[in-house]
């Protein structure tokens, strides 16, 4: 119905190029003709009403689903038949909307598992425990502690993941994802279930991650967080891109207000 929005070029060198992605489930079109580019070092927001296809897009990006149409390019190279583990190895890490930690393992172990993809010890090393394996093990543990400190839950290292508070679980998921040394970190509703203070801290954390040179892609419902944090925002509705641009412009976009925020302008600015 609305006119096709003009593509907004990314300012920095592109890290992720999504071109005309389409995904159907039976008769349902979850994504259709979605095109956008994320620049290196950006914080890129992905918003839209429930069922708009945000998580589907995430799942396509992280190799859980395969798109029916379109191409994905990460750091200049096309992603062909990606699987989640290959995607992680290439440098895209993610968190999940409905937290998927290894619930019965400690926080530390969760992060240590995240190091798997950047470490090498095999069966022989594990059995012989040679010097290289031992020093790698020590490095894994050191890095895991570092990351727990980084996201602010160092003191919870030995607690089981499922005994952590909701906010700490979300932080732990971020720490686990960071353990894979990602270039692009994709967060699916990182602020869900957090209170106002936790959200402020989360924002600081995400900004720190960006300052460390990691590009961020964020699905978020909290409008204030998205508008304050993101450099650019993409709006999906019924699997289609209806707007893309800087937060200020998005807030005033009539198509967005109609589709996503429903009614008055006052609410969009709340």
Partner 1 sequence: MGTLSAIRKHPKAKWIGVLLIVAALLALPFALAAVGTAWVRITNFAILFTMLSLGLNIVVGFAGLLDLGYIAFYAVGAYTYALLASPQFNIHWPWWAILPIGAAIACFFGILLGTPTLKLRGDYLAIVTLGFGEIIRIFLNNLSDPFNLTNGPKGIWSIDSVHFMGIHFGVPSHFAGLDFSGTIKYYYFLLAILVLVIVVNLRLQDSRIGRAWEAIREDELAARSMGINTRNMKLLAFAMGASFGGVAGGMFSAMQNFISPESFVLTQSVMVLSMVVLGGMGNVWGVILGAILLTFVPEVLRYTVQPVQNWLFGRSIIDPEVIRMLLFGLTMVVMMLFRPAGLLPSAVRKRELAVAEDVD
Binding site for partner 1 (CB under 8 A): 62, 64, 83-85, 87-89, 93-94, 96, 100-105, 109, 112-119, 121-123, 125-127, 129, 133, 136-137, 140, 160, 162, 176-177, 179-180
Question: Quick one: DSSP state of residue 260?
Answer: T
Residue 149, Cβ neighbours under 10 Å: how many?
Answer: 13
Look up residue 244 and give its two tokens: 């893309």
**CB of 119 vs partner 1, minimal distance in Å:** 6
**CB of 66 vs partner 1, minimal distance in Å:** 14
Dihedral sign from CA coordinates of 212, 251, 267, 258? negative
**CB nearer partner 1, residue 109 or residue 220:** 109
**CB nearer partner 1, residue 5 or residue 125:** 125
**CB of 151 vs partner 1, minimal distance in Å:** 16
**CB nearer partner 1, residue 16 or residue 250:** 16
Whether the Cβ atoms of residue 54 and residue 236 lie closer than 8 Å to each other:
yes
CA pair distance 125, 52, nearest whole angstrom: 47
**CB nearer partner 1, residue 50 or residue 104:** 104
**CB of 187 vs partner 1, minimal distance in Å:** 13
CA pair distance 156, 149, nearest whole angstrom: 10
**CB of 176 vs partner 1, minimal distance in Å:** 7
User: Which helix (H) or strand (E) is 251 found in, with range?
Assistant: helix 247-252
Phi and psi at residue 118, in whole multiples of 5°?
Answer: -105, 10
**CB nearer partner 1, residue 85 or residue 269:** 85
């Amino acid at each position: 119905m609305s006119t096709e929005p003009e593509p907004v070029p990314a300012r920095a060198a592109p890290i992720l190029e999504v071109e005309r992605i389409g995904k159907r489930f039976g008769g349902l079109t979850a994504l259709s003709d979605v095109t956008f580019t994320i620049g290196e070092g950006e914080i890129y927001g992905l918003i839209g009403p429930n069922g708009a296809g945000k998580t589907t897009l995430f799942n396509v990006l992280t190799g859980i689903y395969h798109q029916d149409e379109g191409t994905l390019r990460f750091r200049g190279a096309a992603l062909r038949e990606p699987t989640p583990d290959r995607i992680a190895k290439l440098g895209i890490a993610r968190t999940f909307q409905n937290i998927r930690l290894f619930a019965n393992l400690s926080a530390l172990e969760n992060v240590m598992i995240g190091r798997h993809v950047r470490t090498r010890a095999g069966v022989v090393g594990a059995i012989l425990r040679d010097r290289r394996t031992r020093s790698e093990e020590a490095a894994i543990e050191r890095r895991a502690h570092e990351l727990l400190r980084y996201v602010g839950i160092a003191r919870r290292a030995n607690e089981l993941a499922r005994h952590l508070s909701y906010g700490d679980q979300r932080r732990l998921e971020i720490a686990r994802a960071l353990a894979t040394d990602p270039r692009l970190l994709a967060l699916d509703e990182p602020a869900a279930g957090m209170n106002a203070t936790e959200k402020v801290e989360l924002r600081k954390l995400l900004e720190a991650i960006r300052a460390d040179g990691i590009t961020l892609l964020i699905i978020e419902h909290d409008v204030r967080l998205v508008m304050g944090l993101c450099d650019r925002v993409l709006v999906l509705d019924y699997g289609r891109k209806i707007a893309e641009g800087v937060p200020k412009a998005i807030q005033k976009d009539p198509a967005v207000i109609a589709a996503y925020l429903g009614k008055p302008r006052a609410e969009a600015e709340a």
